[in-house]
Structures are given as structure tokens and as C-alpha cells.
Amino acid sequence: MRIGLLKCDHVLDQFESIAGDYQKMVSSMLQSVPGELVVFDAYAGELPTRPDTCDAYIISGSSASVYEDQQWIRDLEAFVRSVAGAAVPMFGICFGLQVMATALGGVVKRSDRGWGVGVHAMTVTETRPWMQPGESTISLIMLHQDQVVSLPDDARVVGSSDHCPNFLIEFGPGLVGVQGHPEFPPAYAAALYADRRDRLGELTDTAIDSLATPTSEKVVTRWMREVFQSPVR
């Protein structure tokens, strides 16, 4: 299986020594998923020429907001629509979830709930066939201000938290996104929180302390594998 990573940001130089770049973090996350990871720098305008260039796609997180007037984001939205039309599986992480939502007709806005940082727990609200193993609750590292506030037609929320009601969304067969970061090691998240202390304020220390909480990245990676390997049509 060829898995295309649509990379939507770059790890800052001072943080690469912690866990490497996004490619390395995603590669580590996908250790249990058989296949070849092919990287496309979507942030620099690099996208596959065809939706079937790869067998499945992952859209990474980003410090950008999907509603910014950026051509690379509009091009990425167009590619998401082509992938959905070609029935190729896709999994979005944080910004990746949000760009899938806007590409398919949903709305993303800055949340009035403020920053989502630290480890947050999400409740599964609807069990889907790709949720193997089945879990009623998962916990993931978070770092976001924006949220999906209106779903595209035919999308369904399958996981929700108090801070982020649209935490886990199935946009259609083989099209899934999660607001959390299963690829973030705790040390990397801690470094990001500390670097953004001026923006996070009093949330910073609480978020860093929460990183000692066990997280469910292995479960989410299994779900991702099931999404990629399940029939789309």
C-alpha cells in the first residue's frame, strides 16, 4: 500500500531533535500499518497529480487556519474533493480534519471555547465498522483553536468531547478525520506548549502536566489502518 502524506506544515528547526520532522513522526505512528509512505509538501503547493497516485492519504496538522486566503489551502481542498470522488481512503489529523470539512461543504471557525491543549478524552458516540478495536473513550494530545462548527452533507459525528463536539467525523466511506494528534510524542507537544506560553497563558502548565496521562494513539492508528483497508464503495 502506498500511503500519501499531505504535509501541511514544517517542524521548526529547534524542535526537530525531539522527534524529527512530520514525516518521521507519521512514520513512527504508522509502524503497525503495512505500506510505503510517500510525502507531498502540500504547504509548498506539491500535491499528487492524480487522486489514485496513492492507495490512501493522510492530511497532517498545520499552524495555518483553513479559512486563510492561501492558494495552497484552496488547492488542497480541490484535491480532497477529487480523492472523495475517486473513492480513495483519506484520514485527516487536526487541520487535516478541518480541510476535509471545508472541502466537502462544512464550516470551520475559531472556537469560542478557546484553546484545546493537553490530553483530552473523547467519547465514541456511534460505533463504525472501522473502529477495531472497539473503544468507548479515547484520549489524544490536542493543539488547536479552530473547530468544525457545521458538517458537510452526509457527514456524521462519531466521537465528541466537551471542548470539541465534532472531535471525530466520518465524512463518507473511507473519509475520516480526528481533531487530536495521534502522531505527537508527549515531549514534542510539551515543547510546543512551552514555546506558545504567551498565547496559551495559564493553560500552559496544565497542558504540560496532562501529558503524563495515557493516550490512545495506537487505537487511532488501528482505526486508520482499518479505514485504509476497508472497501470504500
Burial of 198 (0-12, 13-18, 19+ CB in 10 A): exposed
Please give the single-letter amino acid code of residue 169. Answer: I
Those residues whose C-beta lies under 8 Å from the C-beta of residue 40, and which sit 6 or more positions away, are: 4, 5, 6, 7, 46, 47, 48
Cell of 168: 471525530
Evaluate whether 186 touches 197 at the Cβ level (below 8 Å): no
Q: Are 216 and 142 in contact (CB under 8 A)?
A: no
Residues belonging to the active site: 94, 181, 183
Q: Rounded to whole angstroms, how far apart are CA atoms 70 and 62?
A: 13
Q: CA 141 to CA 148: how far, in whole Å?
A: 18
Task: Report which residue type is found at 192.
Answer: L
- Which amino acid is present at 62? S
- What's the rounded Cα separation, in Å, for the pair 202 and 210? 13
